[in-house]
Structure 1
């Protein structure tokens, strides 16, 4: 495998985003609707994110300071582990996909309507306002209800996926004292002795959880019919199955482990 530059590249500039928005809007005008994922499928994807992230840390330890070659080795390992049944999707494709996802700073930039972006902003604000994981989940569950009952034109799958990933990732990265698993928190603490000395710990793990939710939602939009880079895995709407469904979760977990 001789791919390079897997690490976080510079985000898309304003001209690139405008071009992508024009492409997405054209696709929207050509289609009447997209098939949404069920809420059960969305929760399964969010759970998968945590399972894969945990597997990476349990088998490899903290990969945060991996070299470029080690990152590529990890991608190949994850590809062989999770994509063995989907060999029509090549290793080069998933590497290219990772680069594209890394180029989007905020998943909000890939949404069309202001009210879609509003829900993402509300979820983030709820996270920072919450005192612990129980409080967070209760407030986010209410937001899920608001999204489900909203009759305005929007695609709810990426929004609900964002919220559910935020819940799952927060549990992974939060401290035990805050109701989290403590697994991710212990890694963050080891990375920097300064981490806990000035009460920045809560803010830092919450930023990691947001990055995870952003990555998952960006990945979903990237392979959906109105995604940013064309359809990588074939002509699919939000009813994603097989390799596309799996690799979105793998990519999000991998990015969280490498760059969280």
Structure 2
């Protein structure tokens, strides 16, 4: 994905980009190697702190960490950027308003880049360990608390439809598939990164949830000890017509 963006937008270390909903920097850190500056915006102070820690640990510079969100974007005085990237955060926003605001920030040759990883696709086989996770999740949050009905679930109108009505109506969609291997701790940590099993959703049940999920996973751990999953990364590049 980063090689594609580098070639598509001739990234040569002189550009500025915005990572909106940056989290702990999954997109921010790799992008910082390609551009002059990444403005990384996230509403959670703990995410910003973790991003700073990871950047320092990796010796990465050129990142301007900002506390904020899409509703406060213009007040942050981000300045002109070539790209605005979002990793699975677009659906949390007022998409129409955000795209209107981004039209004032993104340079004429720039684009909005939406990247999602791990969304369910009918042609990808579900991992055999997923029912184990679902059983423990249902035990703590109830069988009706599904990922697609949780707060922040994807809206009924697809991102592409919203983009087609926006200034960024020229759409290019690409995807890549890969096999990901995770440890028990990786699988547990992955659940805590989802809105429907986040620390906030679990509240005081979090320690018990982690303990029971780890125990259930270990009991069904495959030979070799790693939990494999076929994962697809979807990228939408939306530029002006």
Mark yes or no: TM-score above 0.5: no
* Larger of the two Rg values belongs to structure: 2
Q: TM-score range by the shorter chain?
A: under 0.3
The two structures have a TM-score, normalised by structure 1, of 0.25
Q: Give the structure-2-normalised TM-score.
A: 0.26
Query: Which has the larger share of strand?
Result: 2
* Bigger relative contact order (CA 8 A; separation at least 6): 1
- The structure in which a higher percent of residues are helix is 1
